Structure 1
């Protein structure tokens, strides 16, 4: 008997990364299902056109994921209710904090049979580094616990085992919950081709939104010290300024934008040319990542990495066939030492990159991730 076509409602907090992060998964789901995406306004017409070409049904909203706004969030809750009642999905798949919290609550209220929220990192609200104990973080944790109450149709997806352990430790979820761990969002190795890294001159690239917890200041300070010792080395930064509660201050933004220490390129639509021209990719994040996509893209293209020994980030460094160096969070001197290592061991720039490509193929290749995701989303 042919399997019944299901309606799968995907809810996200950003349309810009929808195709990059979930495009291949949506393609796989569309083979035997209807897929409806509920997204913030799609500003880039190439994304809208591609989704429609794939056969995705689009619904849009006015969600502002990085803003704390009670009335805006209430409107979003109402919009979620309307779209769930209209679509009547068999599977509800929200990811990122606001869609997970609000979407899971509304989907339960509407008696959706299969609810599969995915937490793509825990961000600030459970961070041991930031210790954000404000009212917003407290409310977020309470709402998350309430929305994720055990339910026969609920399956929670994490992108690293530490996030699941933390929610169990904090009493957010317990033994009755069905929970799964996948290795991040994955990376398409057919899209990110290997290219040999340049070793003369060395260049260090960071790809990130301009928020403090991503380690922007640490990268800038390390670059400033390194330029004093190795003036020929180049430091590059890609990423949009994010009007987030943790956005970098105007003074640091001005220093970065001046171009005296770092070459800042803002937001770009395709990171591959920048990765091809980079020697090493750096992400000194303490944000509370799932598994950082920028590091997976770097590994896929054969770039060694320097990243923090923190949740999510440490998953990308192979302790056997080493592809990168881990540094303590907020430790500029350790970051400088790791950068200097590659200055003194340029052969490792190439070898670490080769190891990273192999590690990405073994653990993070998109087909492996999507096979696991399809099982979680579709299994009866």
Structure 2
């Protein structure tokens, strides 16, 4: 459905703190908008995904660095850059992603009175912080809320605008955290949309690498002969994500030490913008220390092209995820998942994944042993089928795009109240009348 009607010529602006995020998680949404005849502009930092994003829409580089998030000077520079870009683009709607970009977008769109959608792609590490960092996190949320319900009406006059901004949360925990920190803010514009959704390639009947003669997703789906005849298979335990300590890469390597007879593969690269990331110089030493681990780097859709008989996805993250798409991708491909409690995000439970209650590597070892025991007893298949059913019915990318477009449409009436856009329309009318 066209956003704000087919006659609307003003662009829709999408914002994120990386081009990779938009190209990887918002590709179908951006593609659908373009197909509907919408003009879409993106502002994000230049990275390896910028060429792909530029082929899809108009991309404007935005110099913002996650490594300088806490520096007021650099924060102010990022704010001014967004302010001037939005003033020049004059979009009818701004859709921002991630916490820092959301704060900047909330302030800038309030100044210009532009409808805004703020997507929280997980609250990140700050949501788990204590002490001063926790106070800073709450202050950011309250600042976002304050500006989200206000806008400039004229050059010097401000007013309230309770329906100008919509909030999208990827999981119920993040939504509850936001609402608990802001008890007086209306919840009528708070939407729960599970991440970016699983792409259609994963949902196709033939998705994944089928390895058995019966064309099953993997050997976990074959019926074992029973506990007495079942030997421990050689498994491929997988890590998918940036090599951040808060994402659990260190825990994953510790689990590899406990299961020396098993194979481990890491799909993901370092993040130069994060102090929490492993360094490139550390990887050779880690490879020597963990001979049963292979660092395969960042790859596109690694689970979809996987060809191993006994894969297991391990998600030892305490990062503050939104909705870990790798978990949904693994489930729909019939791959067992061992997850931290934090990474279940209030979405997945013990009926679909194995949950390690603590960060201790021994908890993940216990989950792995339980997985093997369930397979030997013929009980694993029920969990795998439940996970595949869950993703098919709730987490498709098509469904997420449709829900997001519906949020855009809900802000249609706010377009006519924009100070910047009305001022520009009046200027154009005056020019045409000359």
**TM-score normalised by length of structure 2:** 0.76
Q: Which has the larger radius of gyration?
A: 2
C-alpha change, 1:251 and 1:36, in structure 2 (3 Å) is closer
Provide the residue aligned with 1:197 in structure 2: 218
Instruction: Tell me how far 1:7 sits from its aligned partner.
Output: 2.2
Instruction: Tell me how far 1:197 sits from its aligned partner.
Output: 2.1
The one of 178, 182, 192 aligned to 2:193:
182
Provide the residue aligned with 1:307 in structure 2: 339
For each residue in 1:293-340, what CA deviation from the matched residue of structure 2 results, as whole angstroms up to 9, or x when unmatched? 2212222322121111226544134x5xx3321111313222101112
CA distance in 1, matches of 2:267, 2:321: 18
The answer to whether the 8 A contact 2:96-2:102 is kept is yes
- Unpaired runs of 5+ residues, structure 1, are none
1:317-336 equivalences under 5 Å are 317=349, 322-336=351-365
Question: Is residue 294 from structure 1 mapped to residue 297 from structure 2 by the alignment?
Answer: no
CA distance in 1, matches of 2:49, 2:201: 24
C-alpha change, 1:268 and 1:282, in structure 2 (3 Å) is same
The answer to whether the 8 A contact 2:208-2:304 is kept is no
C-alpha change, 1:217 and 1:180, in structure 2 (3 Å) is same
CA distance in 2, matches of 1:165, 1:201: 41
1:238-257 equivalences under 5 Å are 238-243=267-272, 244-248=274-278, 256-257=286-287
- Between stretches 353-362 and 167-176, larger displacement belongs to 167-176
1:115-134 equivalences under 5 Å are 115-127=116-128, 131-134=129-132
1:1-380 equivalences under 5 Å are 3-5=6-8, 6-30=10-34, 31-44=36-49, 46-48=51-53, 50-51=55-56, 56-68=57-69, 69-112=71-114, 114-127=115-128, 131-135=129-133, 137-149=134-146, 150-151=148-149, 152=162, 153-171=164-182, 174-175=185-186, 178-191=189-202, 193-195=207-209, 196-198=217-219, 200-227=233-260, 231=261, 233-243=262-272, 244-248=274-278, 256-258=286-288, 259-272=290-303, 275-277=306-308, 279-310=311-342, 312-317=344-349, 322-346=351-375, 352-379=383-410, 380=412
The answer to whether the 8 A contact 1:323-1:355 is kept is yes
Q: What SS is found at the alignment partner of 1:294?
A: helix
CA distance in 1, matches of 2:395, 2:305: 21
The answer to whether the 8 A contact 1:154-1:177 is kept is no
For each residue in 1:131-186, what CA deviation from the matched residue of structure 2 results, as whole angstroms up to 9, or x when unmatched? 34345x53343133112225130111111111111122223762366211111211
The answer to whether the 8 A contact 1:205-1:275 is kept is no
- Between stretches 203-212 and 143-152, larger displacement belongs to 143-152
The answer to whether the 8 A contact 2:98-2:120 is kept is yes
Instruction: Tell me how far 1:92 sits from its aligned partner.
Output: 0.7
**TM-score normalised by length of structure 1:** 0.86
Instruction: Tell me how far 1:37 sits from its aligned partner.
Output: 0.6
Instruction: Tell me how far 1:274 sits from its aligned partner.
Output: 5.6
CA distance in 1, matches of 2:243, 2:253: 11
CA distance in 2, matches of 1:10, 1:104: 13
- Between stretches 303-312 and 285-294, larger displacement belongs to 303-312
- Between stretches 251-260 and 189-198, larger displacement belongs to 251-260
CA distance in 2, matches of 1:314, 1:337: 22
Q: What SS is found at the alignment partner of 1:38?
A: strand
Instruction: Tell me how far 1:3 sits from its aligned partner.
Output: 4.0
Equivalent residues, number: 364
Instruction: Tell me how far 1:8 sits from its aligned partner.
Output: 1.1
Instruction: Tell me how far 1:107 sits from its aligned partner.
Output: 1.2
Q: What SS is found at the alignment partner of 1:339?
A: helix
